Amino acid sequence: MQQNNGLDKSQIISFAVLCLVLFGFMFYFQKDQQTEEALNAEKQKTEQTQNSVKSTQAANINPNVTPNSIQTATLANNELKLEFSSLGGQVSKVELLKYKAYDQKTDKADLPLYLINKNNSSYGFQFKDKTGKVINTKDLIFSPVVNGNAVTLTANYNGAAIQFIYTLNTAGELKDQYTLDFKVRSQGLANISSDNKADFIWDYSVRNVEKGRSQEQSHSEFSYAFNNYNDYDYDGRTTMEEEKETLNWIGVKQQFFSSVIESKSGFTQSKGNQENIEEGEYLKKLNFEGFVPMTGSELNQDFTWYFMPLDLPLLKSYDKNFDEILPLGWSFIGSMNRYFFMPMYNIIADWGIAAGWVIFLMTIIVKLILSPIMYKQHKLSAMMKVIRPEIDEVNAKFKDADPMKKQQATMEVYRKAGVNQMAGCLPALVQIPIFYALFRFFPNFIDLRGQGFWFAKDLTAYDDLIKLPFKIPFLGDHLSVFAIACTIVILIYTVMTSGNMQQPQQEGMPNMKVIMYIFPITFLFFLNTSASGLSWYYFVSNAINILIILVIKYVILDEKKIHAQIQANKAQPKKEGKFQKRMREMMEKAQEQQKAQEQQRNRKK
C-alpha cells in the first residue's frame, strides 16, 4: 500500500485547532499566573552560605580586629555604587545601579544587583619580609580618606607605608562610568622586604543574580587577555594555568556581567582553580594568583578595575579585547550573531514592539531567506512520494538478492527520475550553524535580559509556569510551556516529513522513523531549562515549516505534473553525474571483490 505523507482536511483542521489552543493557553495563563511561589529550596542556611566564601583572615597581624572596628568609605556615579573596607583596603561592595537581580521569593528581578557583597571577593598583594614571614595586604588595617571622587586607604606595617588609591570616574563617556582606577604605592617597604615581585591573590565567589541557576553557573568562568591584548582565552574547567604568558587582564565572567582587573605591567606565572557551589547564594568559587613586579622591593603599580555589563558595543568601546568575553560562538557562528542576529534584533526592537514579537519577526525573516532551500527540500519530498511505488517494487524484486544489487537498482530509479537524494541534506546542514548561533544568542544577549513575553518573565531564562512538587531527572522541578509547545510542533513536523522514509530492509538496522519520533521528546529535556526565547523561536520556526509544507502540497505543487515530469525524465537519456558515477564504480568494485571472495571459498571447499 502506498504511504500517504500528506495531511487530509481533518488533519489540517486539527493542526489549526492545536495552534489556537496553544495560543489561548498562553494568553490565559498570562492573566491568571500566580505571583507567589512557595520554594522550599529558598530556605538556605546562612552558615553554609558563609562557609562557601573564603573569609578574610587578619588575626595573625591584627588580633584585635572586630567587625565594629572596620571602617568603610563610599564612592558612586551614575552606574556604580562602591564601598571600600579598611580591612585589606579592598573594594567590599559593588552595585550596578541600572540593573536588578532576580529574587526567587517574588519571582521578579527586584533586588539590588551586587557583583561584590558579603565578603564574596577578597584580594591582596602577598610578599615576604626579610625574616621570611608572609605578609598579605588583605590582612592589614587601612585608614580611609575620601577626597571628591577618590578614596585613599593607607596601612602601616613595621614602619613601611602602603597606600591604595581608588579613583572613580564620575564624568565622561559611558565606558568610563564602569571603570575604577587603582594605584598601589609603598614607602619604606624595601627596609623590611627584599622581594622583587608580589603575588596578587584574588578569591571570588560568583553571586546568583539570574533566574536559571544551572545556566548562569555554566556561564561563570575565568576570562583573560594576553600578548598585548591581542589574544583572548577563557577557562570554565577546574584549573587555569598560564604560567608562560603575561596576562594584561584577568576577569571573572558571569552570564551578563563581569569583574575584571587590568594590570599595566601584567600578571605573570598566573594560575587559578574553580569549583561549583551546588546550592545557596553563590554559584561558583574561583581563586586566582599571578605575580606583579616590585621595583627596588617597593610596590608601585597601576591597575584598573572594571565592573561592567556584557553589552557588546560597550565592551568594544574599550579596545582591550573585552568583547571576546561575550560567548557568542567561534568564527562563523560568532560573526553570525554579531553582524546578523544582534543588528536585526536592534532594528526591529526600535519599532517599539515587545521582545517576543521581535523574535517572531526575526524568525519570519530567517525563513524568508532560507525559503529557496526549504522549497527544494519539500519539492524533493513530494517527488520521493511519487516514486515510492517504484522503490517498493525494487525492494520486493531484490528482497532475497544481494543488498548491493538492490542498492544499485534503487539508485537507478532515483537517477532516471532526476531525484538527487543528497539535495535533501543541504537544509539540515544550513540549520546546524543557525541553531548553534541562536543557542549562544538568547542566553547571552543582555538586551533580552528581563524582557518578558506572555508568561515568560525573562526570555533569557526558562519559564516555569507549570511547577512540579518534585524533581524529575534532567527536567527539574518545572515544565516550560514554551518548551512543551515547541516539542509538540516539532513532533507534528516530524510526522509530516517522515512518511517517505524507508523502513529498515535488514535485521539489526535501526528504524529511522522511531529515532525521528524520539528526537522531539529528547528536545524537551534540552529546552526545559534553556532560555525561553530560544524555545519561542523554534516554536514559531517549526509552525512556519508546517504551514510551508501545507502550502507547497496543496497550492504550489501538483503531483500529477511531478509524475509526468518524472516519466519524461525516465524516457530521456540521463547524464550520469560525477557523484553517481563514483558511487556506481564503487559498488561495481565491491561486487567484483565479493564475487572473488566467494570463488575462493568455493575452491577451498
The amino acid that residue 447 corresponds to is D
State the chain's mean pLDDT as an integer: 77
**385 and 288 in a common domain:** no
User: In this structure, what CATH number is given to the domain that contains residue 85?
Assistant: 2.70.98.90
- Beta-ladder partners of 153: 144, 164
- Cα separation of 335 and 294, whole Å? 42
Specify whether 155 is located in the same domain as 25. Answer: no
The pLDDT tens digits of the residues spanning 469-521 come to: 777 777 777 788 888 888 888 888 877 766 555 554 444 444 555 666 677 77
Listed residues 274, 292, 327: the one ending a domain: 327
Which pLDDT score, from 0 to 100, does residue 375 have?
72
| CA 388 vs CA 4, 410, 417: distances in Å | 10, 11, 11
Give 175 or 604, the one with higher predicted confidence: 175
Does some domain include residue 576? no
261 pLDDT tier (thresholds 50, 70, 90): very high
Q: Is the pLDDT of residue 131 over 80?
A: yes
- Cα–Cα distance between 325 and 255 in angstroms, integer? 10
Binned at pLDDT 50, 70 and 90, residue 452 comes out as: confident
| pLDDT the model gives residue 576 | 56
For residue 589, the Cα-to-chain-centroid distance in whole angstroms is: 48
Whether the per-residue pLDDT at 94 is higher than 90: the answer is yes
Same structural domain for residues 538 and 432? yes
- Structural domain that includes position 564: 9-32+335-569
d(CA 74, CA 423): 65
In a domain, 596, yes or no: no
Is the same domain home to 77 and 189? yes
For residue 456, what pLDDT band results from cuts at 50, 70 and 90? confident
Query: Does residue 47 sit in the same domain as residue 84?
Result: yes
Longest dimension (CA), the chain: 102
Residue 158 falls inside a structural domain: yes
Instruction: Judge if 53 and 137 occupy the same domain.
Output: yes
> Are residues 177 and 323 both part of a single domain?
yes
Cell match 558612586: residue? 76
Examine the fold and report which residue of 270, 296, 327 is the final residue of a domain before the chain moves on: 327
Each residue's pLDDT tens digit, 184-232 = 999 988 888 888 889 999 999 999 888 878 888 888 888 999 999 998 8
Say if 167 falls within a structural domain. yes
Greater confidence, 518 or 142?
A: 142
Do residue 322 and residue 346 come from a single domain?
Answer: no
Judge if 342 and 475 occupy the same domain.
Answer: yes
Helix (H, G, I), strand (E, B), or coil: what is residue 206? Answer: strand
pLDDT, average across residues 135-148: 91
**Does a structural domain hold residue 605?**
no
On whether residue 585 sits in a domain, the answer given is: no
Among residues 327, 358, 386, which one ends one of the domains?
A: 327
pLDDT of 4 above 60: no
**Same domain? 198 vs 286:** yes
Which has more pLDDT, 5 or 216?
A: 216
Judgement on whether residues 27 and 120 belong to the same structural domain of the protein:
no
- Give the residue from 414, 411, 410 showing the smallest Cα distance to 380: 414
Look at residue 183 and give its three-state secondary structure. Answer: strand
Residue at 450 is within a domain: yes
pLDDT at position 313 is 92
Render pLDDT for 234-254 as a digit per residue (tens, 0 to 9): 876 778 888 889 999 999 999
Residue 168 lies in a domain: yes
Residues 25 and 54 in one domain: no
- How many independent structural domains does the chain possess? 2
Mean pLDDT of 587-601: 66
